Chains A and B, each alone.
Chain A
Amino acid sequence: MRALPVGDGALLVELDSGAAAEALHAELLRRAAAHELPPVREIVPAARTVLLSGLADPARLAAELPTWTVPPLAGDRGGALDIAVRYDGPDLADVAALWDTSPEGVVRILSETEFRVAFCGFSPGFGYLTGLPPRYHVPRRATPRTRVPVGSFGLAGPYAGVYPRSSPGGWQLVGSSDAVLWDHSREPAALFAPGTSVRFVPEGAR
């Protein structure tokens, strides 16, 4: 763990792996809820880091962090959100070839994977979901699409994700969902928040 100063009121805590970043984020939320954390404006997890901003004394927290015991993420996450998916993506066959399986095999593997929202970014409610074993990590498309439809279910690197709105994008699209990922008139506005457990269920299979 390395705590890097960011300006005069923030810390970027860098970890050795995405899993360690997810575990530290969970511990930070636990401590914040238990009032064991100094006041902070934002806690922003990302691929291998957690950013804490709006700190009065970042140096003090930087010195304290290495003394923490951070429990690993629990294996049994429970309470997963089920997202219904149609496997109609334009890159389904490409992903099947990369995984050395059939499109049905892709559906089976994704349905059996317990995903977790590691972090959000890119646009409101866009979650980066981890859980796929490394052998199923796929590269981004060589040429990004200028327009990916809202609800597209895609894969890139270690992540899976669903586009909360239509946007450009380079992920390999395997399916689509009618789930409303982002609705600012809803509470909560974001369906996927860091730490949310997610299962993708083939439409009609429920």
Chain B
Amino acid sequence: MSDRAITVVRAGALSTVQDLGRPGHAHLGVGRAGALDEPAHRLANRLVGNGPEAATVETTLTGCAVRAHGTVTVAVTGAPCPVTVDGRPVAWGAAVRVPDGSVLDVGAPTHGLRGYLAFSGGVDVEPVLGSRSTDVLSGLGPPPLADGAVLALGAPRPVPAGPDAVPFPGPVRELVLPVLLGPRDDWFTDAALRTLASGGFSVSAASNRIGMRTEGPALERAKEGELPSEGMVLGAVQVPPDGRPVLFLADHPTTGGYPVVGVVPERWLPAAAQAVPGTPVRFVPRRPRAAAVAPGQAAP
């Protein structure tokens, strides 16, 4: 335990504490949560000498500002944005020293949606089921950052000397997402599956940590009604009654009754988490490898 801390000066649109989440509890109705852009979370931690499990602050659209109590080394990654300390510009994507009493301000991204602030020692809130992540669906974990809130920091480790080369992500003109069809693609018409592949979808402003919603054509159902509740995975593309696909992100419900037309593999989700509303989305559906084995018939 160290006595270093940060006070939230400007919480921003939605800033939450995130780590690698709490997988392994879905059977209790507890979702995974965790940083949506996990590579950015890991990179920020590495830059300040933290392990990948240390908690960072994930910002949304408008950044945030915090005052340091004790000298704190900070790195900002994810969506590129202006970063200042007491109003003076400092580096994005690099370890920056914030002296005791100074204010770190992380501005609105020049492109992309979510920023990650790693503090040397990590944000040290009380873990819930092994994770410090806020789950906006279930309410587990710490509440979203609010102006004036104080967050304790853990004991810092030495900051790595050599500068890592930090890739500066360029703006995304179109979000391209491979979709492995199933398990419920048979609930949709052939026309709907063609629409999924060709229809001009875009990221909806109603997107959040639970799911990236889309605007665009509706996928037509071949079957009516609801499925009996079934387990949902990260990356599932669920289609609610309005027909617009929703891509499940880290705070998704553990079970659901709307059909999942396909699943976006996890490695493509960080890009989806950085897509601002209005970004065109192109789904690229294909059959998953396991479908080559016809279950029940393939057994010797």
User: A: which residues have CB within 8 A of B?
Assistant: 1-12, 14, 41-51, 53-54, 58-59, 62-67, 119-126, 128, 184, 189-190, 193-194
Q: How far is the CA of A54 from the CA of B228 in the complex (A)?
A: 23
Q: How far is the CA of A9 from the CA of B289 in the complex (A)?
A: 10
Docked-complex contact A2 and B295, CB < 8 angstroms: yes
Q: How far is the CA of A8 from the CA of B129 in the complex (A)?
A: 27
Q: Which of B22-30, B59-67, B79-87, B147-155 contacts A (4 or more CB under 8 A)?
A: B22-30
- Interface residue? B231 (CB, 8 A): yes
Chain B residue numbers with a CB within 8 Å of A194 are: 27
Chain A residue numbers with a CB within 8 Å of B184 are: 4
Q: By DSSP majority rule, is chain A's interface helix, strand, loop, or mixed?
A: mixed
Q: How far is the CA of A67 from the CA of B296 in the complex (A)?
A: 8
Number of A-B residue pairs having CB atoms within 8 Å of each other in the complex: 142
- Interface residue? B210 (CB, 8 A): no
- Interface residue? B200 (CB, 8 A): no
Docked-complex contact A1 and B29, CB < 8 angstroms: no
Chain A residue numbers with a CB within 8 Å of B26 are: 42, 44, 51, 53
Say how far B149's CB is from chain A's closest CB, in angstroms: 20
Chain A residue numbers with a CB within 8 Å of B233 are: 6-7, 10, 51, 53
Chain B residue numbers with a CB within 8 Å of A54 are: 23
Mask, B232-249, CB within 8 Å of A = 1, is 110110000000000000
Docked-complex contact A121 and B180, CB < 8 angstroms: no
Say how far B205's CB is from chain A's closest CB, in angstroms: 24
Chain A residue numbers with a CB within 8 Å of B264 are: 7
Contact of B24 among A41, A128, A189 (CB under 8 A): A41
Q: How far is the CA of A67 from the CA of B299 in the complex (A)?
A: 7
Chain B residue numbers with a CB within 8 Å of A51 are: 26, 230-233
Chain B residue numbers with a CB within 8 Å of A12 are: 183, 230-231
